[in-house]
Amino acid sequence: MKVPFVDLHALHEPIAAEIQAEVSAVIERGDFILGENVARFEEEFAAYCGVSHAAGLDSGLSALELGLRAMGIGEGDEVILPANTFIASAAAVSATGARPVLVDIDPVTYNIDPASADQAVTPRTKAIMPVHLYGQPAEMDSIMQLARKRGLKMIEDASQAHGAEYRGRRVGSFGDCAAFSLYPAKNLGAFGDAGVLVSNNADLIDKVKTYRNYGSLKKYHHVEQPFNRRLDTLQAAVLRVKLRKLDEWNQGRRRAAAAYRERLAGLVETPDEATNAMHVYHLFVVRCNERDALQAHLSERGVGSVLHYPIPIHLQPCYASLGHREGDFPITEQYAKTILSLPMFPTLGDEQIGAVVDAIRQWKTERA
Ligand SMILES: *Cc1c(COP(=O)(O)O)cnc(C)c1O
């Protein structure tokens, strides 16, 4: 049995007719740019996160960058973030002209280590960016305390954690603002690139809505730096249908994760789930030595797997100018060599999980 790494087709098939009807309605109305669905999606997604405002954007990267800019971050400033994340988290900081200051991760949650973040603060530090990586909320109690104590702004990178909860509160409601990617394979994904920024600060969201639309709220009156970063009406129409399924889909991911955890015990290191948080398993990341050999074996057996991420940010050629070298963030580096993301999607079935587990067990047995 082949098991794909993700299966978007299985997700979309049951709602295809509903989405097609919404797309047809947009074509009828012709309101392709900042149409009705954009404002509706913003209201619905903000409410979902338990905040009052949202701005629909063209990507998660734009949500991070414009959120930082709206908080006044730019040249000469420093923003603290984890070394183990997708490149976009750091790229958004660089795009504003500020310097990304990387820190190591906590070995249990894989998220930013609050103590290392505290040590990285300098007089130039303006903000901290916790990333809720793989769907697991970062340790928000410590991070919020640190931000308060040091007078830092906070932007959450919630691009992998739509619907995740920390102490019963959805992520996206902790920072001054929070960015979500709506890339197709994310827990909530459009049919192309899209993103959204949420906040309880109406002025901040207004500023981002101005940025995204050529620095204007009134046509041809450009009061802020002009960007074109709008969420398409068509994508918003798709997202509104999919948002209604998000909780059910996240439950499907959690069910698959529980089955994996039980059946993989003793074979590979499975992820820990904090007792005060609800993990939404954007990815199911295990660890094992000889990871490359295991990945090759899975591939031969028709099981898809991916590395998130094979090279930490501080060792990427594009960030050579930060002046880091191997050894700077030992946990991040050790994990980059041992992590493996197994197939994970809401409709992942018991038989598919069984096929993945059998393939891993066979590999272990062969090496024993
Ligand atoms: C996907 C992702 C982003 C960027 O999203 P895009 O929509 O591709 O720009 C940012 N941060 C993290 C952690 C992500 O996983």
The phi, psi pair for 31, rounded to 5°, reads -90, 65
Indicate if ligand 1 lies below 6 Å from the C-beta of 249: no
Residue with the smallest CA separation from ligand 1 atom 2 is 159
Q: How far is the CA of 92 from the centre of ligand 1 (A)?
A: 10
In the reported structure, the alpha carbon of residue 185 is separated from the centroid of ligand 1 by a whole-number distance in angstroms of 10
Distance of alpha carbon 302 from alpha carbon 295, whole angstroms: 11
Query: pTM here?
Result: 0.98
Q: Are 187 and 135 in contact (CB under 8 A)?
A: yes
Q: Does ligand 1 come within 6 angstroms of the Cβ of 183? A: yes
Are 298 and 305 in contact by the 8 Å Cβ rule? The answer is yes
Determine contact, residues 211/225, Cβ cutoff 8 Å: yes
Q: What is the pLDDT of residue 210?
A: 98
Phi, psi angle pair for 84, to nearest 5°? -100, 90
Buried b (16+ CB within 10 A) or exposed e, 155-167: bbbbbbbbbbbbe
What are the backbone angles phi and psi of residue 28, rounded to the nearest 5°?
Answer: -60, -50
The pLDDT score that the predictor gives to residue 308 is 97
Both tokens of 207, joined, read: 């500023």
For ligand 1, atom 4: residue with the closest CA: 60
Cα 235 to middle of ligand 1, angstroms: 17
Per-residue pLDDT of the chain (368 residues; tens, 9 = 90+): 999 999 999 999 999 999 999 999 999 999 999 999 999 999 999 999 999 999 999 999 999 999 999 999 999 999 999 999 999 999 999 999 999 999 999 999 999 999 999 999 999 999 999 999 999 999 999 999 999 999 999 999 999 999 999 999 999 999 999 999 999 999 999 999 999 999 999 999 999 999 999 999 899 999 999 999 999 999 999 999 999 999 999 999 999 999 999 999 999 999 999 999 999 999 999 999 999 999 999 999 999 999 999 999 999 999 999 999 999 999 999 999 999 999 999 999 999 999 999 999 999 999 87
C-beta 136 within 6 A of ligand 1 = no
DSSP-derived pairing of the beta strands 195-199 and 277-278: unpaired
Which pLDDT score, from 0 to 100, does residue 368 have?
A: 78
DSSP bridge partners of 228: 213
- Scanning 128-281, the segments in alpha helix (DSSP H) are 140-150, 202-212, 233-243, 246-264
Residues 48 and 165: their CA atoms lie apart, in Å, by 12
Residue 102 bridge partners (DSSP): 81
User: Ligand 1 centroid to 363 CA: how many Å?
Assistant: 33
